[in-house]
Amino acid sequence: MSVGGAVVRTRAVIGLALAQLRRSPGRTVLTVLAVTLAVLSVTVLASLGVGVVEKGEQGLDSAGRDIWISRSPVDPGSSGTENPISGAHGTAAELTARDDIASASPIAMYDVYLGTDPSDLQRRPAVGVQETHDGFDFEAGHGFEVDRETAASPPPDEPQRDEIILDPQVADELGVSVGDTIYVGTSRHTAEANELTVIGISGYYSQYLGSPAVTVPLGDLQAIAGTSGTDRATYLTADVADGADRDAVAAELGEAYPEYDVRTSDNQVQSMLEERTMVLASGATLVGLAVLGGIVLTANLFALVAHQQREELAALRAIGLSRRLLAGTIGTQGLVIGLLGGLLAVAVTPLAVIGLNRFSASVLGFERLLRTPPEVYAGGFALALGAGTIVAIVAGWRAGRYARIEHLQA
């Protein structure tokens, strides 16, 4: 076939495809909307998966710690309430005394009961840290700091600072603000004995624990929990000294403290993801089902489109058009519909993500849970074009097999 003949055939196929689309505008619009929904489901779920991973990475980055030390078992499902590290302040002091460590501090997590009335308490996760840091983004009030001497000392038997930072949702539910006092305890019976003053409103740790959380000075939280004697913590975190190699320091700490799991911040992200394999597997399954569902829906759509055009295809076959040209005609329709559906889905995706992020922030306390890097849009658009065109060509090829005058007469 000459180049001129190929150009003529291509123009004829495109002309026939566009004519078929214009002839049935209602069917064309519905098909475009169906492709849009299929692609939108893929982009939204992909945005959710990307957002979950980035949240974990950014959380550790915001914490600004080079090395994370834990000890099995740490149960993420119970917010790490087992706190398997004992003597946390002493170990942190040992680490800080090393030349290759700039500072080290423990983190403890407990479930506490809190409320403005000892007879009406709610259960919330509480994080105990020695001081607040960058990234808290307080909606009101401020954080707390502990001097080096106090941080290196064993925890007191009684709360010393009597301060607490509340998640915004917790503050709303309790009807309190900065300066108000609430009761806090690790059981309903002990809460009445501990009155803490609200000094700040922030949801920093809520986004990582999956529910509205509160933040308390570490020593006070251990005193409230009654674990000051054993000085228990969930993690020990450390910053390496200037010029020290983070990986080498982590390896040396792993040899010096074989009872602990020592990881760099990068490895800690990987470990957290491995601990949540079921969640990741569920997310991957949802994305896979969304892609598969989109392809199946698109295949059914173009099979239906080809079936509804059987009379026109039979007429074109009767005047001598080959099955290849018929498949090209339906394939071109798939390309146009995929192009329009893909563009529409890409345009609608930011609106859907904004709405879902607002819902997530208001109900779950997660800010910007869904993320839309360029790869998400590119993947959705490629799926619309690729799957739409390929499926349409296959549907057109199969339709050309039966689009004969004798079959229509039967």
Residue 116: pLDDT band (50, 70, 90) is: very high
pLDDT-derived band at 280 (thresholds 50, 70, 90) equals: low
DSSP H/E element including 166? strand 163-166
The β-bridge partners of 110 are: 126
Single-letter amino acid, residue 26 = G
The answer to whether the CB of 268 falls within 8 A of the CB of 117 is: no
pLDDT of residue 176: 92
**Backbone torsion region of residue 178, taken as left when φ is above 0, otherwise alpha when ψ lies between -120 and 50, otherwise beta:** beta
Helix, strand, coil tally for the chain in percent (to 5): 60, 15, 25
Model confidence at 397: pLDDT above 80: no
Measured distance CA(80)–CA(258) in Å, rounded: 21
**Cα separation of 84 and 89, whole Å?**
13
Residue with tokens 């979950």, as numbered in its chain: 52
Helices (H), 139-276: 148-152, 168-174, 206-209, 218-225, 246-256, 265-275
Task: With H, G, I as helix, E, B as strand and everything else as coil, classify residue 226.
Answer: coil
- E strands within 24-162? 67-70, 101-117, 120-129, 140-141
Q: Is the pLDDT of residue 80 over 50?
A: no
Per-residue buried b or exposed e for 152-174, using 16+ beta carbons within 10 Å of the residue's own CB: beebeeebebbbbbbbbbbbeeb
| Mean pLDDT of all residues belonging to the chain | 80
Between residues 154 and 108, the one the model is more confident about: 108
* Closest C-alpha among 143, 109, 171 to residue 365: 171
**Spatial distance between the Cα atoms of 96 and 90, rounded to a whole number of angstroms:** 10
* Beta-bridge partner residues of 182: 196
Sequence-distant (6+) residues with CB within 8 A of 174 are: 114, 115, 116, 122, 166, 182
Q: What percent of the chain has a predicted confidence (pLDDT) above 70?
A: 82
Q: In this predicted structure, what is the pLDDT of residue 318?
A: 72
Rounded to whole angstroms, what are the CA distances from 17 to 33, 325, 392, 407?
18, 10, 12, 23
CA angle centred on 401, ends 400 and 407, rounded to 5°: 100
Beta-strand runs (E) in 246-388 = 261-264
Sign of CA dihedral 198, 204, 209, 215: negative
Q: How far are the Cα atoms of 74, 187, 214, 215, 374 from residue 122, in angstroms, in the given order?
A: 24, 10, 12, 15, 42
Q: How many residues does the chain have?
A: 410
CA 146 to centroid of chain Cα atoms: 33
- Confidence at residue 78, expressed as pLDDT on a 0 to 100 scale: 46
SS3 119: coil
User: What are 255-272's pLDDT values in tens digits?
Assistant: 998 888 888 877 766 666
The residue with tokens 């942190």 is 92
Is the bond preceding residue 73 a cis peptide, omega within 30 degrees? yes
Average pLDDT over residues 103-108: 88
- The reply to whether the predicted model has a pTM over 0.75 is no
pLDDT-wise least confident of 16-20, 165-169, 363-367, 386-390: 363-367
Of 203-217, 224-238, 273-287, 288-302, the least confident: 273-287
Which pLDDT does position 79 carry in this prediction? 44
pLDDT band at 178 (very low <50, low <70, confident <90, very high): very high
Q: What is the mean pLDDT of residues 75-103?
A: 77
Helix-helix angle 323-363:25-63, to 10 degrees: 40
Cβ 56 vs Cβ 208: under 8 Å: yes
What local confidence, expressed as pLDDT, does residue 387 receive? Answer: 75
Mean pLDDT of 120-136: 85
| 85 pLDDT higher than 80 | yes
Q: What 8-state DSSP symbol labels residue 321?
A: -
Helix (H) or strand (E) holding 197: strand 195-201
CA distance linking residue 295 with residue 203, whole number of Å: 40
Strands (E), 18-162: 67-70, 101-117, 120-129, 140-141
Determine the Cα–Cα distance for residues 191 and 256; give it in Å rounded to an integer.
Answer: 40
